[in-house]
């Protein structure tokens, strides 16, 4: 995957005191793969695979919007 930088990074809070800044499609994929919340069954929380697939073919601006949507669906605080 190409490192498609976003014009504006996305700042988010996953847990109390856990802040992240994601500034490219590659960083979003890494976040989804390594830091996505786990549900009570020990599986990645809802939507991760669908968002990974959507990111793969998306232009930078669209990928950013897909990533923000994924974070908001899990009720993360998003700035940007």
Report how far residue 21's alpha carbon sits from residue 32's, in angstroms, rounded to the nearest whole number. 13
> Between residues 37 and 3, which one has the greater pLDDT?
37
Q: 33-58, pLDDT tens digit by residue?
A: 888 777 666 666 666 777 777 777 77
Report how far residue 17's alpha carbon sits from residue 43's, in angstroms, rounded to the nearest whole number. 23
Q: 């994929």: which residue's tokens?
A: 29
pLDDT for res 23: 94
Q: What is the pTM of this model?
A: 0.79
pLDDT for res 42: 63
> Between residues 58 and 78, which one has the greater pLDDT?
78
At residue 76's C-alpha, the angle toward residues 73 and 80, to 5°, is: 100
Report how far residue 49's alpha carbon sits from residue 42's, in angstroms, rounded to the nearest whole number. 15
């Amino acid at each position: 995957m190409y490192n498609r930088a976003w014009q504006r990074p996305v700042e988010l809070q996953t847990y109390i005191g856990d802040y992240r800044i994601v500034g490219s499609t590659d960083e979003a994929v890494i976040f989804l793969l390594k830091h996505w919340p786990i549900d009570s069954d020990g599986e990645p929380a809802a939507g991760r695979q669908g968002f990974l697939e959507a990111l793969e073919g998306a232009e930078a601006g669209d990928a950013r919007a897909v990533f923000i949507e994924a974070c908001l669906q899990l009720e993360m605080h998003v700035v940007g």
